[in-house]
Structure 1
Amino acid sequence: MDERQLRILRELGELGSVTAVAEALLVTPSAISQQLRLLQRSIPVPLTERQGRRLVLTDAGQALAGAAVEVETALARARHTVEGFLERPDAEVSVAAFHSAGAAFFPLLLAALAGPGKPAPRLADEDVPQEGFPRLTREYDVVLAHRLDHAPPWPDTVAVTTLLREPLDVAMPADHPLAAKRRVTPRDVADEPWITVHEGFPVLAVLDAIAAAAGRRVQLAHRINEFAVVAEVVAAGGGIALMPRWTMRPHPALVLRPLSGVRARRHIDALHRPERTARAAVRTVLAELRRAARTIQERDADAPAARETGRRGT
């Protein structure tokens, strides 16, 4: 077996098909199949099996794919040491984030890394469903991802640093009848028109929980992923919405009210492949992201008037 064969096996476990692996590695499906056959010849037990039209890993294949992570990490360290790149402090580091995380973290990260001798961040926005974030770690050194508090954990193929556990509050116009309440319940909000995300994005599951707790379906009036746009539509009277408490700027026409009776909180996590932290510049970026997360939370704690009136960041 060799490094390339192990990587193909690892990618097959993540992507689920020979065609998807071939597209990711920019080779033909037949080349992928040939490498899998060569790898299989060196292993006395089956590594893959057919499930319908899909090729999946057996238990032995999953175990070897997990070991491939350690192999790639070790080889990455060796290559970086030879190249003199491992401890280079000012290397380029690519960071992707979904929109509200990018708005909150990117300015703080740029400020922290300004000046000579610091990593050079290359920033990008990526608005994908929850299951799409781990795949982005093939393209970026660090990926800021979000998932609901009670959602399944990220796969073992990525390393995870939790930056924030951010409450999701109910956003409404300041003159809305529910704005007089300090907190709202599922029954309070179930009959309101809702502005929510597209299918596959984690915030939608909270609305399902609201509907279950209230005993009736909620009305989905508009589908908008970008929270800054959502805030404007709420302010214009288009409905109410779930909004993150810390990572969006306050909107003067809105108030946020905490939601009782359901778990409405998301994790903002930094995902990366384990071998990426062999680079000092990536470790520095992760440390600055953790520092930025503390700043974001402390910024909310330093605004008692906002907490008392409910005018939190939207």
Structure 2
Amino acid sequence: MELHQLQILRELGALGSVTAVAEALNVTPSAVSQHLSALQRGVRTPLTRRDGRRLALTPAGEVLAAAGTEAIDAMAAARSALDEFESEPTGVVTVSGFHSAGQALFGSLVRELSESDAAPTVQLTDEDVAQSDFPALTARYDLVLAHRMEHSEPWPKAGIRSLTLVSEPLDVAVAASHPLAARDSLTPDDVVEQPWVTSRIGYSPDDVLRAVSAVAGRALEIRHRINDYGAVSAVVAAGDVLGMLPRYTSRSVDDRDIVRLPLLGVSTHRLIDVLARPENLRRRSVRIVVEALERVMARLKE
């Protein structure tokens, strides 16, 4: 039983297919299958089973994968101890972020790190996925900027660590010429009869509107589904629909023709979290990037 075999078993449990594991670990599917077979030969109980087109872990496989996570973490701790001894803050740290977080944070993050004489190099990628798909991205990136609604299920704890950067309200956006623009705040009853532009299902604005519909006891008219907040603002400014915009991470949106109003009576806060594998957080370079993200977000919230 070898450490890399346990890592492959863990990734299989997280990603569900040999192909996905191979892509995440930059190896061939054949190599993944060979390592799984070698691991299986060392134990009597089946570790995997077919679940339709997916290859899932059996209960025994899940137990071994969990133990493997601890072993990987322990090995990372040993490497981290050496890194700390050498005081090496540099290296490459990969970061993914959903679109609005990337627009709001990535540029400032690069500038923040450039002000240090000894800072890691960040490789940035935008990954705009539904809330449920963020944890799997930790197999591909050192740090994953993720969002979830405050009232939703927490991130899985097995093999993943999370740190909240901010609790961000989503505000109602209306055209400056709209009758509601003169209000200081809105309630579900104020907006339930209005047509809306919102996100695709599985994203924060749509979650808020589902809560509005539940509180008001009526279905809302969803006219458009757009994930880009700049496009949402442009459609709202045309005057036909209301929209939802995050308060901090959409400040690059042009507000000349729209008004943002707080929505009372429902939970509108989304958490922007950093997700990472525990062994990655033991690297000093990764922790430096996390600390820089915290500073950038704190300034953005001011």
Q: Which moved more, 1:30-39 or 1:252-261?
A: 30-39
The equivalent residue for 1:160 is 162
The equivalent residue for 1:262 is 266
* CA 1:29–1:142: 2 relative to 1, 3 Å: closer
Q: Does the CA-based 8 Å contact 1:145-1:268 persist in structure 2?
A: yes
Residues 179-221 of structure 1 show CA distances to partners (whole Å, capped at 9, x for unaligned) of: 2222212221122121111233232122122122222221111
The secondary structure found in structure 1 opposite 2:114 is coil
Q: Give TM-score scaled by structure 1 length.
A: 0.85
Amino acid at match of 1:219: E
**Pair 1:226-2:228 in alignment:** yes
Residue of structure 2 aligned with 1:201, choices 203, 213, 221 = 203
* CA 1:144–1:185: 2 relative to 1, 3 Å: same
User: Cα RMSD between the aligned structures?
Assistant: 2.4
The equivalent residue for 1:133 is 134
Q: Which moved more, 1:25-34 or 1:119-128?
A: 25-34
Residues 126-175 of structure 1 show CA distances to partners (whole Å, capped at 9, x for unaligned) of: 21222222222222221111111122211223211100111111111122
Runs of 4 or more consecutive aligned structure 1 residues displaced over 6 Å after TM superposition: 80-86
* 1:205-284 pair list within 5 angstroms: 205-249=207-251, 251-284=255-288
* CA 1:13–1:89: 2 relative to 1, 3 Å: same
Percent of pairs with identical residues: 49
The equivalent residue for 1:303 is none
Task: Give the gaps of 5 or more residues in structure 2.
Answer: none
Q: Does the CA-based 8 Å contact 1:160-1:269 persist in structure 2?
A: yes
Q: Does the CA-based 8 Å contact 1:95-1:143 persist in structure 2?
A: yes
Q: Does the CA-based 8 Å contact 1:185-1:259 persist in structure 2?
A: yes
Q: Give TM-score scaled by structure 2 length.
A: 0.88
The equivalent residue for 1:310 is none
* CA 1:164–1:54: 2 relative to 1, 3 Å: same
State how many pairs are aligned.
298
How far the C-alpha of 1:85 sits from its partner, in A, is 9.7
How far the C-alpha of 1:266 sits from its partner, in A, is 0.5
The secondary structure found in structure 1 opposite 2:55 is strand
**Pair 1:122-2:133 in alignment:** no
* CA 1:141–1:18: 2 relative to 1, 3 Å: closer
* CA 1:127–1:238: 2 relative to 1, 3 Å: farther
C-alpha separation in 2, matches of 1:202 and 1:14:
23
How far the C-alpha of 1:31 sits from its partner, in A, is 4.2
C-alpha separation in 2, matches of 1:66 and 1:230:
42
Task: Give the gaps of 5 or more residues in structure 1.
Answer: 300-314
* CA 1:54–1:98: 2 relative to 1, 3 Å: closer
The equivalent residue for 2:47 is 47
